[in-house]
Structure 1
Amino acid sequence: MAHDPSCRRFPRRTLLANLGMGATGIALADLLHCDGVAGAATPAAADNVKSAITAGLPHFAPRAKRVIWLFMVGGVSHLESFDPKPELNKYAGKEVKDTPHKAVLESPLTRNVRIAVQNDANGHIRPTLYPLQIGYKKRGQSGIEVSDWFPHVGDCIDDIAVVRSMWTTNDNHGGQLQFHTGRHSLEGPFPTIGSWVHYGLGSENENLPRFVVLGTPLADCCGGQNGHGSDYLGPEHRGIRLNADPKNPIPFAAPPVGVYREEQEAQFDLLRELNGYAAVEYPADDALRARIKSYELAFRMQAAVPESMRFSDESAATRELYGLDNGTTRPFGELCLAARRLAERGVRFVQVYHGSNGGAGAWDAHSNLKTGHANLCAQTDKPIAGLLKDLKSRGLLDETLVVWGTEFGRTPGAQGGNGRDHHPFGFSVWLAGGGVKGGTVHGATDEIGFHAVEHRHYVTDLHATVLHQLGLDTRRLNIPGRKRLEIDYGSPMRDILA
């Protein structure tokens, strides 16, 4: 029976749930109303839920079981991290047109986006090369060049595959959303890589979410919650934010004051029974059942998540490995340790943000690059290396794919005298574990780090690589009625796969 405002009548299911559950039923009805599923599911919502129900198994044998996705917000300089270019020192201060590398400005790879410049006294634009702000050296047996700002990660380089030939199309910080969805931010939000993993694979632990977000998400100007959203896949596939705080890991799911766990268990038992009665008369209402399952998960998380964040269970040596004994490294070290603890407990995709600051991101180095990057690298280098070493010592690295990335690189040219501008033409990411060949470099930029010129990869190639290692074929993750562009699918980077 449809709601009739003239006589204040409600559907029998609504009355049954609200009255039968008392205050809990009323609270649930309010939650369902806020989520837009208080009534019968819309066809689109029902299709999403039905599609999700049919998912859960890999398409072929996977090499990895889970992913830890480390995202540096603001745009890390590839030149001062994993793709150092000595030519910048050789021609520092010279205009690009006065060097042997002047052809980069006329390259067909250069689209109509800004190039970092330095204005002369007359206001004329003069692209000049900016020297490297830190040294670098060959690391590990593989001899891969790594910045001196990453000595700890450099110690792990033989377990890492560096991809130096990424490119994207967004030259502003909407690139943060593009890096996670594969689509330019002007096209609107789309499902993120984490949500595709959630959609494609079942859970390894029914008491924890499949897709968890740690750290401060993207600012609203750069994608906001859509950076870990699911768009047309449905809200059940978006990332769930958790705090790396043993005292308050899931504030949104804390039990009401004065309500004991036994009471909540009884309430959910009754809710399932009542919903079972309703299912007989309303068999197509999959969205309501899916939403109730999400509340049941939140209930189970009340016990499972605090245990996952209990860092006191770790040895002093492990806590030191992540830098928890140091004020500089502790905040990100706690996120990385939480990521490991969640991964080993079966969470499929752990997305870890660093550098979110309510704006473009702390790594956005338009000025004072040397000071800024030095501080940010000091915050992240040891925790990331600790994560890789810890996973490896526990036998988890082979089945856990770790990805490090950022929305774009920084220009070879100077900006403001001591910074670098946004640079989408060529930048670096790296992967480790999960069936990746460590100690390898794939792709290349030109001699000043301007263009990706060898084995060029758009960001969806990274997505396709992640999905492939999880046993998922991106072309088989389609939604009926949703047309995807060819570039949306990407292609796995097979040269870095063992």
Structure 2
Amino acid sequence: MSQSYSRRRMLQSMAAGFGSVSASGWFPGLAQALANDPNRRRHCILLWMSGGPSQTDTFDMKPNHENGGEFKEIQTAVPGLRFSEHLPKLAAMSDKLAVMRGLSTKEGDHGRGTYLMRTGYKPMGPIQYPCIGSSLANQLAEEKMTLPSNVSIGTYRAFNQDAFSPGFLGPRFGPLFVGASDVPGSVSNDGDGFPSLEVQSLRRADGIDEQRMQQRLKIWQSLQSEFVSSRTAGAAGMHHEVYEGAVRLMHSDDAKAFDLSQEPKKLREAYGANVFGQGCLMARRLIQRGVPFVEVSLGTNSGGVGWDTHSDNFRAVANLSKTLDDGWGTLMQDLQDHGLLESTTILWMGEFGRTPAINPSAGRDHFPNAWTSVLAGGGIAGGQAYGKTSEDGTNVVDGKIGVQDLLSTLCSALGLGGAPSNMSPSGRPIPISEGSVIKEVLA
């Protein structure tokens, strides 16, 4: 916080404001000062939609065109802003959402599109770029954290494993995967009708008591200290740091952040009894304990991979939208109730959109030319749609942006500026993104 608006002055203003008829004179200044505080802890939640969600059936509907399809649109809380009928909770929270309707990219393949959107770079060349979660964890994490700085829930990595890796940042900022949908047996039922999202190896193995565990750790530490002493840099040092962090987490009270049974059943039901919904609840718990980056994926459904709706699009999207609306809508309200929404920026996106035209199988195909992502929460001026597509939805006619613009805007909302850089092992700074910041959607 700047010297011109110190903590002492803030408290004086608060006291004076509460004693007067109205605080309207000082509150805007206070809000701006808090938003600009460089020491304010920022968080990011990525809601990743594997398969590519249909913008025409969610946030950019075309009800008066043959491409519009079966769904009706509903008026949101913001005059003139309309969403799908299957997103009522998000419609009620629309004043917190900035719908980016002018996104346009050139990668229509699942693997290449996934890499592009999750790293900001095309999948080519010798550099292994870090995923956005690793990049932001590197920027936002505190030096000493018991919990991991990057957690990914319900992940589906089959399209492109590299798009989920920490790249040149190394394992320290790699995601902790919880309930990955591409790992058989990673999710079970907890007995109360909810999926059990457990962190593997967080508890001691059966038959190993605390005394025996401590003996094993002493042996490990002895072997490690001798090996790592001459290899503090590079992979050996980074792996040692990761293992030490895992041991700290095992013995920390912070591990309770992953225990969703501590939450009221009514709240868990509101989020939805599925991996995405419970993952959103876990995201709130992790943010509450200081984790800077959490990803929650809506990656699979009973008929295939998430939003990859080449056939029977409307049945699938209706079901997916219900899951999305319950999870994301409840997350927004829950973050707000806990005083966390203003410091948490949410990004909703997939690897591309889907064709406005409906194919003979009642589906929509891959379409990177004109599609939608959404920014929400902290640092975002909600209640608006930025960009516009043509009447048939096939082209961006106003406010066209690319992935670099989107990520630069996200970084700015998080207080990192428009082009923060990560340092490569060779000492070369590599920008997370170098796009144009869309100032109109920043608070």
Q: Same fold (TM over 0.5)?
A: yes
Matched residue of 1:71: which SS?
A: strand
- Answer yes or no: is the 8 Å Cα contact 1:162–1:430 preserved in 2: yes
Change (3 A) 1:457 1:255: same
2:56 aligns with one of 47, 65, 79: 79
Q: 1:149 aligns with which of 78, 83, 86?
A: 86
Residue matched to 2:138 = 199
In 2: Cα distance, 1:158 partner to 1:248 partner:
31
Give, in whole Å, the separation in 2 of the partners of 1:276 and 1:331. 39
Q: Does 1:177 align with 2:112?
A: no
Matches within 5 A, 1:270-419: 282=230, 285=233, 287-303=235-251, 304=253, 306-324=255-273, 330-356=274-300, 361-419=305-363
Q: C-alpha separation between the residues in 2 aligned to 1:275 and 1:310?
A: 31
Q: Deviations over 1:87-135 (max 9, x none)?
A: 42xxx2xxxxxxxxxxxxxxxxxxxxxxxxxxxxxxxxxxxxx332201
Alignment of 1:425-464 (within 5 A): 425-464=369-408
- Whether 2:167 is the aligned partner of 1:236: answer no
1:470 aligns with 2:414: yes
Going from structure 1 to structure 2, the CA distance change for 1:240 and 1:316 (only over 3 Å counts) comes to closer
Matched AA of 1:195: S
Structure 1 417/493 Cα, relative in aligned 2: closer, same or farther at 3 Å? same
Query: In structure 1, the residue corresponding to 2:48 is in which secondary structure?
Result: strand
Given that 1:142 and 1:158 are in contact with CA atoms closer than 8 Å, whether structure 2 keeps it comes out as no
Q: Is the 8 A contact 1:249 1:306 kept in 2?
A: no
1:99-248 map, 5 Å: 130-174=67-111, 175-185=113-123, 189-203=128-142, 206-219=145-158, 222-224=159-161, 226-243=162-179
1:235-274 alignment to 2 at 5 Å? 235-243=171-179, 249-265=198-214, 268=217
SS at 1:236's partner residue?
helix
The answer to whether the 8 A contact 1:62-1:470 is kept is no
Over aligned residues, Cα RMSD in angstroms?
A: 3.0
Residues paired across the two proteins, number? 391
Q: Do the aligned partners of residues 358 and 272 (structure 1) sit closer, same or farther apart at CA in structure 2, a change above 3 Å counting?
A: farther
CA-CA distance at 1:300 after TM superposition = 2.4
Match of 1:114 in 2: none
Match for 2:107: what amino acid?
N
Q: Residues 145, 286 of structure 1: CA spacing in aligned structure 2 closer, same or farther, 3 A cutoff?
A: same
- Report the Cα offset of residue 268 of structure 1: 4.4
Letter matched to residue 410 of structure 1: R
Distance 1:467 1:65 in 2: 11
TM-score computed with the length of structure 2 as normaliser: 0.79
Q: 1:363 to 1:284 in 2, by over 3 A?
A: closer
Output the amino acid matched with 2:59: F
**Which structure is larger by alpha-carbon Rg, 1 or 2?**
1
Q: CA deviation at 1:63?
A: 6.8
Would the aligned equivalents of 2:170 and 2:238 in 1 still touch at CA under 8 Å?
A: no
In structure 2, the partner of 1:95 is: none
For residues 204 and 236 of structure 1, do their structure 2 counterparts lie closer, same or farther at Cα, with a shift above 3 Å needed? closer
Structure 1: state its 5+ residue gaps.
1-58, 93-129, 325-329
TM-score by length of 1: 0.71
Change (3 A) 1:200 1:358: farther
SS at match of 2:295: strand
Q: 1:253 to 1:63 in 2, by over 3 A?
A: closer
Answer yes or no: is the 8 Å Cα contact 1:84–1:136 preserved in 2: yes
Tell me the distance in 1 between the aligned counterparts of 2:167 and 2:335. Answer: 32
